Amino acid sequence: MIRSSAVAAPCVGGIEAGGAKFVCAVGTGPHDIRAETCFPTTSPDETVGRAVDFFRAHGVTAVGIASFGPLDLDASSPTAGFITDTPKPGWSRVDIAGAFRRALAVRVVLDTDVNGAALAESRWGAGVARDPLVYFTIGTGIGGGAIVGGRRLHGLIHPEMGHMRIPRDPADAFAGACPFHGDCLEGLAAGPAIRARRGLPGEALAVDDPVWALEARYLALGLVNVVTVLSPRRIVVGGGVMRQPSLLGRVREQVQAILAGYVRAPAVVDTIEEFIVPPALGERAGVLGALALAQERE
């Protein structure tokens, strides 16, 4: 799919770099997308080449990449801008930021897909004037990004919120699906854990299947840990697993139950439906995050 319109002013490029597909856009924001394309993620050379051709055809002054990871975002590292060790064949130790910088001779800003989505939500969506903002996605994995003091949260590496440790339900016999940690949050509560417990994906399960109560409990434990560590003003929760219509409400109830009155902020006690929210940008948060990254100063 390629959509194009006349280019009125210099604008930037954004890439939502996923393990399955790349979504590339040229524009300045959600109401000004001048061209967009989408293609499957094959080899690094072929995939980067297609994106480079697309941006060359439209002209961009900078490129933002909201990428699957893990990524090396340490500017002082010899592999800064690389995808590091990923299970995706062929993509480990790929200099994704450098490839675009060399081919297009423009500024390139790389960050995780979830930090990109957090930035897009903070600029144009559910996170406006809500800082710190946390963006969680619950899908085939669990990832989290954050905006703190107007900036994307980085440090030693980038947040890896999916791999925090939470208490297991004593009645839950499932060992956990994370190849590194077994029963970390992602291992207990991402899509593959639901499928492994029931033999069916979440979208095929009834709304009253008992797995959803367990899922809500685990996700709430993860959010409670984020509340206690980061004290966000809003948490945006998206991803395929959250399409189960009653899940977000159950997660909110469990967050209140687990905090047990300790955090008495009105946002938790009275208006939790404004504290834990779905993405305002929906599935556009990824590519819009990439456009937002391209407009960052650093």
Binding site for its own copies (CB under 8 A): 70, 74, 84-85, 131-132, 144, 148-151, 153-168, 180-181, 183, 221, 224-233, 258-265, 267-268, 275
- What is the greatest pairwise CA distance in the chain? 60
Least distance between its own copies and beta carbon 288 (Å): 23
Least distance between its own copies and beta carbon 150 (Å): 8
* Region of residue 227 (phi > 0: left; psi between -120 and 50: alpha; otherwise: beta): alpha
Give me 232's structure tokens.
């966000």
Task: Tell the burial category of 222 from Cβ atoms under 10 Å away from its Cβ (0-12, 13-18, 19+).
Answer: buried
Nearer to its own copies, 30 or 238 (CB): 238
Number of Cβ atoms within 10 Å of the Cβ of 14: 35
Least distance between its own copies and beta carbon 136 (Å): 11
Contact status, residue 237 vs residue 249, Cβ threshold 8 Å: no
Q: What is the dihedral of CA 237, 243, 245, 250, to 10 degrees?
A: -40
Q: Parallel, antiparallel, or unpaired: how do β-strands 12-17 and 62-67 relate?
A: parallel
Nearer to its own copies, 7 or 80 (CB): 80
Nearer to its own copies, 52 or 268 (CB): 268
SS3 164: coil
Nearer to its own copies, 102 or 264 (CB): 264
Nearer to its own copies, 95 or 209 (CB): 95
Least distance between its own copies and beta carbon 250 (Å): 17
Least distance between its own copies and beta carbon 236 (Å): 14
Nearest to 235 by CA among 176, 298, 277, 185: 277
Least distance between its own copies and beta carbon 177 (Å): 14
Least distance between its own copies and beta carbon 178 (Å): 9
Task: Tell the burial category of 209 from Cβ atoms under 10 Å away from its Cβ (0-12, 13-18, 19+).
Answer: middle
Nearer to its own copies, 6 or 129 (CB): 129
Contact status, residue 143 vs residue 113, Cβ threshold 8 Å: yes
Nearer to its own copies, 31 or 76 (CB): 76
